[in-house]
Amino acid sequence: MIKAIAHPNIALAKYWGKRNEELNLPAVGSVSITLDALKTETEIQFIENEYDIIEFNGKLPAEDEQKKLSKFIDKFRQISGIDKKVELITNNNFPTSAGLASSASGFAALSKASSKLFGLEFSDRELSVLARQGSGSAARSLFGGFVEWHKGTLEDGSDSFAEQIADKSSLPLSIIIAVTSKESKKISSRIGMHNSSLTSPFYKAFVDTSPNDILEIKNAILEKDFMKLADFSMKSTVKMHAVMMTSNPPLFYWNHKTYEIIELVQDLYNNGENVFFTIDAGPQVKIVTTEGNAPQILNELKQINQIDEIYVCNLGNGAEIIEETH
Ligand code: DP6
């Protein structure tokens, strides 16, 4: 039995749209931070059975979800030549499919655990190419700290991998996640970005301006320039949501609490505080600040009523094997 752990990551330079849907190749590169407190734990072992047995957060997942996971494990069966079924048990300590990147930590943990179980000696960079095919953002969760996932240019996707830009200690950050709704999102990122790429008049502008956002964000990380990181991260978030909202049908992931929190964070940022917001395909607001500053931001957040839940994280590590029994 192999047990692996992986953490969700949050993109600062956002990924939205694909250049190849079959291979899950992104239309843009992206830059992210990996979190510590939220996690997916995945256990996998061989079984003598006709089909894979999959348990997800203590339940049997829906049939399409099971098929997707079995198909993903098929890649490891094919590469290793070991045609055995597996029992897979996976648990998240945070809400699933609610814009908290559960697919990122999920496929990163599964890639790490499967590679070990099937006896494959893949590097994390090679694993990121496989994880990407489960869910794009999962490529980034193989690594800790600050991570870049390259768009790549090759048709086969072999150059669309993730790698670490900087260690978590190079610019210590805290991330406060304000959960404004625990409901699962109605439109998945996959379907949402497909529609956006076909229908949003702003999609091309998002894609065209992404390389510069990535460059500025990477420079800000390397120069340890928080305010520059804040500026370009918020620009990338707002551009992605402008694309979402101008898609047909429009994708409105925000709710009224989301707006309230954005306003609060913007006021703090405009007053020179080290703080910014970033939001993904859901209504949760991720507030990024310098490590140690979280108590002050939490205090400010008290002004807003009825936030469902608050998580406080620092930067975390990449996917790891945490247990191995024979
Ligand atoms: C808004 O990685 O979930 O979080 O590759 O189709 O599985 P698929 O999409 P996914 O999309 C993440 C989109 C995002 C932005 C980001 O994380 O960069």
Ligand 1 atom with least separation from CA of 188: 3
Please state the separation of Cα 48 from the chain's center in Å: 33
How many CB atoms lie under 10 A from the CB of residue 39? 17
Burial class from Cβ neighbours inside 10 Å (0-12, 13-18, 19+) for residue 257 reads buried
How many CB atoms lie under 10 A from the CB of residue 91? 15
Ligand 1 atom with least separation from CA of 9: 17
Distance CA(179)–CA(160), nearest Å, equals: 31
**CA–centroid distance, residue 15 to ligand 1 (Å):** 6
Distance CA(107)–CA(139), nearest Å, equals: 8
**CA–centroid distance, residue 74 to ligand 1 (Å):** 22
Q: Do the Cβ atoms of 174 and 290 come closer than 8 Å?
A: yes
* Residue nearest (by alpha carbon) to ligand 1 atom 1: 280
pLDDT at 102 over 90: no
DSSP-based three-state secondary structure for 67: helix
Ligand 1 atom with least separation from CA of 280: 1
pLDDT in tens, 270-291: 999 999 999 999 999 999 999 9
**CA–centroid distance, residue 241 to ligand 1 (Å):** 13
Ligand 1: residue of 7, 97, 137, 237 to mutate (most ligand atoms within 8 A of CB) is 137
pLDDT at 41 over 90: yes
User: What is the torsional sign of CA 188, 194, 196, 202?
Assistant: positive
Ligand 1 atom with least separation from CA of 190: 6
Per-residue confidence (pLDDT) for residue 100, from 0 to 100: 74
Q: pTM above the 0.85 mark?
A: yes
* Residue nearest (by alpha carbon) to ligand 1 atom 6: 190
Structure tokens at 317: 């590590």
Q: Which of 131, 34, 20 is nearest to 122 (CA)?
A: 131
pLDDT in tens, 46-99: 999 999 999 999 999 999 999 999 999 999 999 999 999 999 999 999 877 666
**CA–centroid distance, residue 165 to ligand 1 (Å):** 19
Q: Do the Cβ atoms of 259 and 267 come closer than 8 Å?
A: no
Q: Give the pocket of ligand 1 (CB within 6 Å).
A: 11, 14-16, 24, 30, 103, 135-137, 189-190, 280-281
Per-residue confidence (pLDDT) for residue 305, from 0 to 100: 87
Enclosing H/E stretch for 240: helix 226-245
Q: Which of 74-88, 175-189, 210-224 comes out lowest in average pLDDT?
A: 175-189
Distance CA(141)–CA(33), nearest Å, equals: 9
Distance CA(18)–CA(211), nearest Å, equals: 15
Distance CA(54)–CA(121), nearest Å, equals: 24
- How far is CA 233 from each of CA 65, 213, 218, rounded to the nearest angstrom? 32, 8, 11
**CA–centroid distance, residue 324 to ligand 1 (Å):** 30
* Residue nearest (by alpha carbon) to ligand 1 atom 4: 280
Sequence-distant (6+) residues with CB within 8 A of 129 are 139, 157, 158, 160, 161
* Residue nearest (by alpha carbon) to ligand 1 atom 11: 189
Please report, rounded to a whole number, the percentage of residues in the chain having pLDDT higher than 70. Answer: 99
Per-residue confidence (pLDDT) for residue 99, from 0 to 100: 64
Q: Which residue has the tokens 């996640």?
A: 177
Distance CA(247)–CA(241), nearest Å, equals: 10
Arithmetic mean of pLDDT over the chain: 96
pLDDT at 136 over 80: yes
**CA–centroid distance, residue 255 to ligand 1 (Å):** 20
Please report, rounded to a whole number, the percentage of residues in the chain having pLDDT higher than 90. Answer: 92
Per-residue confidence (pLDDT) for residue 94, from 0 to 100: 82
